[in-house]
Amino acid sequence: MTRKKENAVILSQKKLAQDIYSMWIQTEAASEAKPGQFISMYTNDGSKLLPRPISICEINKADGSLRVVYRVTGKDTGTEQFSQMKAGDKIPVIGPLGNGFPYEKAEGKKVFLMGGGIGVPPILELAKQMHCEKKQIIIGYRDRETFLEDEFEQNGEVYISTEDGSVGTKGNVMDAIRENGLTADMIYACGPTPMLRAIKAYAQENGIECYISLEERMACGIGACLACVCKSKEKDHHTNVNNKRICKDGPVFLSTEVEL
């Protein structure tokens, strides 16, 4: 289905931690959005033509709004411009885009929901919509500049890791699993590639079905430009090579489908 660009209205904007911002927008995309999908957000700066793909953090279908939580990546960037916008401003967006998490498969199972860094936000809506036997949310940060933990605590058992040990387990999300003796039947994860690589290996070693959402720089966001491909086990029907387009075929994949 072809998505059209629309001018969404910013409802609120708030700084959550160092360089981390939360924005609620009124948008038609909310009516169809699913956990794990993303929207492409455009600046109002004509010199920045390409959109920024931002994961959906929360969905409110009742009032037609979405929440995105994003990181400002530097001076004079698109994300810095987003952070300067205020309630009432309009922002061009396209969405929802990509494939979300198949959370229905978790019913009756014990599950890990794992997020690292800016891969933490998309796990929140997943946690809210998932119905399973046991929901174990393992989230990793660099330091005590954590965010969204209060919302996560309302939706499952929360375990936190920090690289410097200032909060929770010292280390990464895998260290938190080991330290707390956690086990699961299924895994859903989003975060940087080294984290996902470790989670994929853990899942394979333990025979656990695992879905991962890949973080990648994107250009078009709709699968046309082939700028965000990853290596895949099977040949892609679009290119006839062992590639998957993260924006179109993903960003969520069964971990055994892709090479990291």
Every domain range in the chain assigned CATH 3.40.50.80? 103-215
Instruction: Report helix angle 173-180 to 193-206, nearest 10.
Output: 40
Q: What is the CATH number of domain 103-215?
A: 3.40.50.80
pTM of the model: 0.90
| Residue-wise pLDDT tens digits, 9-29 | 999 999 999 999 999 999 999
Q: At 162, phi and psi to the nearest 5?
A: -135, 145
Pairwise CA distance, residues 177 & 67, whole Å: 28
User: 6-97 belongs to which homologous superfamily?
Assistant: Translation factors (2.40.30.10)
Q: What is the pLDDT of residue 51?
A: 84
Comparing 34-43, 100-109, 155-164, 218-227, which segment has the lowest mean pLDDT? 218-227
Please determine, for residue 158, whether its predicted confidence score (pLDDT) is greater than 80.
yes
Q: What is the pLDDT of residue 232?
A: 59
Q: Kindly list the distances between the CA atom of residue 140 and the CA atoms of 88, 206, 255, in Å, as whole numbers in the listed order.
A: 33, 21, 20
Q: Are 52 and 78 in contact (CB under 8 A)?
A: yes
Q: What is the mean pLDDT of residues 49-57?
A: 89
| Residue-wise pLDDT tens digits, 87-115 | 999 999 999 999 999 999 999 999 999 99
| Residue-wise pLDDT tens digits, 180-239 | 999 999 999 999 999 999 999 999 999 999 999 986 554 445 555 455 555 555 655 665
Every domain range in the chain assigned CATH 2.40.30.10? 6-97
Q: What is the mean pLDDT of residues 134-154?
A: 97
CA atoms within 13 A on the CB side of 145: 11
